[in-house]
Amino acid sequence: MYDVLRSRYTFACPTRGEARVSLSSFRRLARLPGAAHPAVFQVEFECACGELHVGLVADDDLDYAPLGLGGGAFLNLMTSTLDAVADEFAEDSARRIGAGEWPWSFFCYPEERPRPVFPSSFWLLAPGGRAVGVAVRCPVCTQVSVNVVSTEHVDLPFHNDASVGVVPHVFAADVPQALEEFRAELYSSAFDVRRLALE
């Protein structure tokens, strides 16, 4: 499901059979009602074949597999050498989190502060050149903020941009026009720039 060495999720592609996509190729994430252990997310992603497809991913795979933690069957199927690499990833991740580093972070606009976050809090993503706009539902205040960040900020755990663009607008997460609102703000507005240094 997740290849920790290449930072790619594997999904099915109706044309090519298999699609290996990075987190920044996700376009929309929605938690499915019902299952809680694990919670399951429906992911709409942009495939290398040019189409948008839908795939399912468990919250463990979404949030912890990129850290080498709880990679499950995929990592267990690897050779002992790659298992050792995965263990190193896990150890390194645990050490960094213990030292106060966060794998992912964003700037919460309503709270006016950076917050640590996991990919399962990402809601909408839209690419723009080497940048990507990300709508994030804050795990603390539950409000939606839109940040403009590098693709590495999204794809690589512990790669946090020093500063990010922040759309000065609180998004209504549950209204049908939210997606259009998100795109319009992303392409029209001037961004505030905020430092992302986490305390």
Binding site for Zn ion (CB under 5 A): 13, 15, 47, 49, 51, 108, 111, 138, 140-141
Minimum CB distance to Zn ion smaller for 7 or for 145:
145
Of 139, 154, 148, 142, which Cα lies nearest the Cα of 182? 148
CB of 171 to Zn ion, least distance (A): 12
Minimum CB distance to Zn ion smaller for 86 or for 196:
196
CB of 167 to Zn ion, least distance (A): 14
CB of 47 to Zn ion, least distance (A): 3
Minimum CB distance to Zn ion smaller for 168 or for 187:
168
Phi-psi region of 117 (alpha: psi -120 to 50; beta: other; left: phi over 0): beta
Of 173, 168, 166, which Cα lies nearest the Cα of 141? 173
Minimum CB distance to Zn ion smaller for 84 or for 140:
140
CB of 143 to Zn ion, least distance (A): 5
